[in-house]
Structure 1
Amino acid sequence: MDTATHITMGIALGGIATLDPTVATSSTVATAVMFGTVIGSQIPDIDTVLKLRNNAIYIRHHRGITHSIPAVLLWPIVLSGIIFLFFPSVPFSTLWLWTFLAVFLHVFVDIFNAYGTQALRPFSKKWVAIGVINTFDWVIFLTHLVGIFLWYFGAEPGPLFIGMYCALVFYYLVRFAQKLVIHYKIKKLIPDVTNMIIAPTMGFTSWRLAIVSKQRFYVGRAENGKVEILDEFLRKKLPKSDVISAAKVDPNLSAFLSFSPLYRWVIEEYNDHYEVRFIDLRYRSNDYYPFVAVVKLDEELNILSSYTGWIFSEEKLKEKLKWT
Structure 2
Amino acid sequence: MDSITHTLFGLALYGTVDKADMSRKTKAAYLITTVGASQIPDIDVISKLWDNEGLYQMWHRGITHSIFLTPIWALLFYFFCLYFLKVKDKRLFYLGLLAVFIHNTSDLFNAWGTGYLEPFSPIRITFGTISIVDFVFWLIFAVAFLLSRRNKVRTPFYFRMAWCFIILHLVIQTSQGYILHREYKVDYDQVALSANFIPWTFSVITKKDNTVTIYDDNLFKEKEALYVLNSKEDAELETLFKQRPEAKTLFEWSPFVVIVDDDKQLGVYDPRFYRNGQSFLFEYIEKNSLVE
TM-score bracket, shorter-length normalisation: 0.7 to 0.9
In the TM superposition, what is the alpha-carbon distance from 1:138 to its structure 2 partner? Answer: 0.2
Shift of 1:297: 5.2
Deviation at 1:249, TM superposition (A): 0.7
CA distance in 1, matches of 2:165, 2:265: 51
How far is the alpha carbon of 1:51 from its aligned partner?
4.8
The 8 Å contact of residues 189 and 207 in structure 2, kept in 1 or not, is answered as: yes
Equivalent in the alignment of 2:67: 69
Match of 2:276 among 269, 286, 291: 286
**Aligned-pair distance for 1:215?**
5.3
Tell whether the 8 Å contact from 2:10 to 2:34 is kept in structure 1 after alignment: yes
- The secondary structure found in structure 1 opposite 2:83 is helix
The residue that corresponds to 2:159 in the other structure is 161
Alignment of 1:131-210 (within 5 A): 131-155=128-152, 156-187=154-185, 191-210=186-205
Gaps of 5+ in 1: 305-324
Q: How does 1:246-285 map to 2 (within 5 A)?
A: 246-250=239-243, 251-269=245-263, 275-285=265-275
Shift of 1:253: 1.9
Query: TM-score if structure 1 supplies the norm length?
Result: 0.79
One-letter amino acid matched to 2:17: A
Candidates 122, 125, 134, aligned match of 2:122: 125
In the alignment, residue 84 of structure 1 is paired with which amino acid?
Answer: L
1-structure distance, mates of 2:30, 2:168: 28
Report if the CA contact (8 A) 1:36-1:98 is conserved.
yes
Match of 1:282, SS state, is helix
Match of 1:222 among 207, 217, 226: 217
Any conservation in 2 of the 1:265–1:279 contact (CA below 8 Å)? Answer: yes
Residue identity matched to 1:280: D
Q: Which amino acid aligns with 2:163?
A: Y
**Separation (CA, whole Å) in 1 of partners of 2:285 and 2:277:** 22
Q: Which has the higher strand share?
A: 1
How many residues are aligned here? 287
Percent of aligned positions with the same letter in both sequences?
A: 26
Partner of 1:231: 227
Name the CA distance, whole Å, in 1 between partners of 2:276 and 2:232: 25
**Quick one: distance in 2 between partners of 1:65 and 1:164?**
30
| Shift of residue 49, structure 1, vs aligned partner | 3.1
Contact 1:185 1:227 in 2 (8 A): no
2: CA distance between counterparts of 1:122 and 1:52?
Answer: 21
Please state whether the residue corresponding to 1:46 is helix, strand or coil. Answer: helix
Please tell me whether Structure 1 or Structure 2 has the larger radius of gyration of its CA atoms: 1
Structure 2 gaps, min length 5: none
Separation (CA, whole Å) in 2 of partners of 1:186 and 1:219: 11
Any idea what SS the aligned residue of 1:41 has?
Answer: helix
> Partner of 1:81 in structure 2?
79
Aligned to 1:320: none
For 1:50 and 1:207, the matched residues in 2 are separated by 32
Q: CA deviation at 1:65?
A: 0.8
Asked if residue 2 in structure 1 is aligned to residue 18 in structure 2, the reply is no
Q: Secondary structure at the match of 1:212?
A: strand
Letter aligned with residue 172 of structure 1: L
Say if 1:7 and 1:38, in contact at 8 Å, map to a contact too.
Answer: yes
| 8 Å CA contact retained: 1:3, 1:42 | yes
Deviations, residues 131-183 of structure 1 (Å, cap 9, x unaligned): 21111100101211221232233342222112111122221222123213433
Residue type of the alignment partner of 2:70: V
Runs of 4+ in 1 over 4 A off after TM superposition: 51-55
- Kindly tell me: are residues 260 and 177 of structure 1, through their superposed partners in 2, closer, same or farther at Cα, counting changes over 3 Å? closer
Task: Please state how far the C-alpha of 1:24 moved relative to its aligned partner.
Answer: 4.7
Quote the offset at 1:186 in angstroms: 3.1
Paired with 2:259 and 2:126, the residues of 1 have a C-alpha distance of 24
